[in-house]
Chains A and B, each alone.
Chain A
Amino acid sequence: MKHGIELSVNGDLYEVLVAPNQTLLEVLRDKLGLMGTKRGCDVGACGACTVLLDGEAYLSCVMLAMDAVGKKIVTIEGLAENGTLHPLQDSFVRLGGLQCGFCTPGIIMTAKAVLDEEPHPTEASLKKKMAGNLCRCTGYTKVIEAVMDVAKRTGGQD
């Protein structure tokens, strides 16, 4: 049986008809057309599907869409404001924090959750918290550089 639910995604309210066995990732991509959030391993092991729920980093592939009702969901599409990139996005572009880019949305969403919680992380703390986001191009050095740069410049307040 399908259920009509309301999801708050990137500040917009969406009414969607979902089956209980649909994950949040499936609904974001297949129903709402928000393709920025990626399907990687699909079993919660790679971090590519990371989205923010009430500001915290969640793996949308191991979460039921029904379970996200009442939470503020933010995906990579919701970061830029009025055409201006979020400081994290800007930093990844400037410092080359990506290679193929598939893991990047998940990495940026995790980085945002980390910086919101800990505006000035040490490199060790940042690495520990971001370790669940795998990059198969193995471009980790520049990823960490890009996030640390934002922490330095904005204090991670945004």
Chain B
Amino acid sequence: MRLPKFEYRQPESMKEACEILLDQPSARVLAGGTDLLVNMKHRVETPTTVVNLKRVAGQSYVRKENGALRIGALTPLKHVYRDPFVAEKLPALAAAASSVGSYHHQTMGTIGGNLCQQTRCKYFNQSKWWRSSRPLCFKAGGDLCHVAKKERVCYSTYCGDVAPALLVLDAEVVLSAKDGSRQVPLESMYSGEGKMPLQIERGEILTEVVIPASSANAFSTYKKFANRGSIDFPIVGAAFWTSTATGESRIALTAVDRKPVRARQLEEFMRGKPLGQDCLEAVDGLVTKEARLMKSSIDSLSFKRKLMGLLVKESIKEAMGGR
């Protein structure tokens, strides 16, 4: 499969990259390429310009600064989960990064690219030929959403593994622009819209992930259920973080909505309660409250709902054993 034609740019600084993005509205940034280039081969993304960020020096690092952990957006996933601090103190992030695709994807793929990956849908992630039997869907440039059978909406699903882990670790992201940068909670970067899943201004690039020190001394885990254990997107993925010191728990899910979601009602129920039978019994009823499940994959919604409960309960049990 040939890639469509595009203009190739290879800036040497983030500022230069941001300027190109401002100048070329339909330009896309290239990091690991394992998501963007596949979508381009399928002609579901056809940017006029591809901006390769990998020649920008000094964007791959994992370092501690004033207690917080800062990870450069171009850090390969493999370097993230191999970092001794991440492996020991942030097991949810280590588990999530090491569950992405295959070993090759973890070598090539970057943490920034993983967070900014496209949403997925069975009508969208297909070759042009496969898609030609139906009118183009809204996401791919047409009008109709085949999932919802409605016009001008998109119900594709966010399936990234790393985002839920970072959500429960209360991570923030640095978005850099031509003249300056802003640090925002990771959660606010996701729009919840299938068509444009990221709330990033034109000319902005995600350059850093920041995890607060307070997230490190607590239990955390990420659990994923996928069709194949070897290489696959999650059918459902769940991250869980709990601190004995504050009695606070955080739960985030992926592949259940147009964005990664926090299960806030369940978190609220669990606040201050010791982990035990009470919490476990509440999971199934509360964990699905915030998710807006749509049938954008081949898996049934009831199966996904069951998995959400199972993965979260498994995580809570693991935390109980660890206490």
Interface of A toward B, CB cutoff 8 Å: 1, 3, 19-23, 26, 42-45, 47, 50, 56-59, 62-64, 66-67, 110, 113-114, 128-134
A interface secondary structure, majority: mixed
Q: Complex formed: what's the CA distance from A26 to B54 in Å?
A: 21
Q: A21-B4, A56-B107, A64-B8 are in contact. Are A131 and B33 (CB under 8 A)?
A: no
B104, A132: Cβ atoms closer than 8 Å: yes
Interfacial chain A residues near B255, Cβ < 8 Å: none
Contact partner of B52 (CB less than 8 A), chosen from A58, A66, A130, A134, is: A66
Please report B residues at the A interface, Cβ cutoff 8 Å: 1-8, 10, 30, 33-34, 37-38, 41-42, 50, 52, 54, 101-105, 107-108, 229-231
How many Å from the CB of B297 to the closest CB on chain A?
16
A131 closest partner in B (C-beta):
B230
Complexed CA–CA distance, A22 and B4 (Å): 9
Q: How far is the CB of A57 from chain B (nearest CB, A)?
A: 5
**Among B7, B50, B52, B104: residue with most chain A CB under 10 A:** B104
Chain B residue at minimal CB-CB distance from A58: B108
**Which 4 residue pairs of A and B lie closest in terms of their CB atoms, listed nearest first?**
A132-B102, A131-B230, A20-B8, A21-B3
Q: A63-B33, A64-B37 are in contact. Are A110 and B50 (CB under 8 A)?
A: no
B37 near A128: Cβ-Cβ < 8 Å:
no
How far does the alpha carbon of A128 sit from the alpha carbon of B231 in the complex, in Å?
10
B301 → chain A, closest Cβ, in Å? 26
| B residues less than 8 Å from A110 (CB atoms) | 103-104
Do A62 and B38 have beta carbons less than 8 Å apart?
A: yes
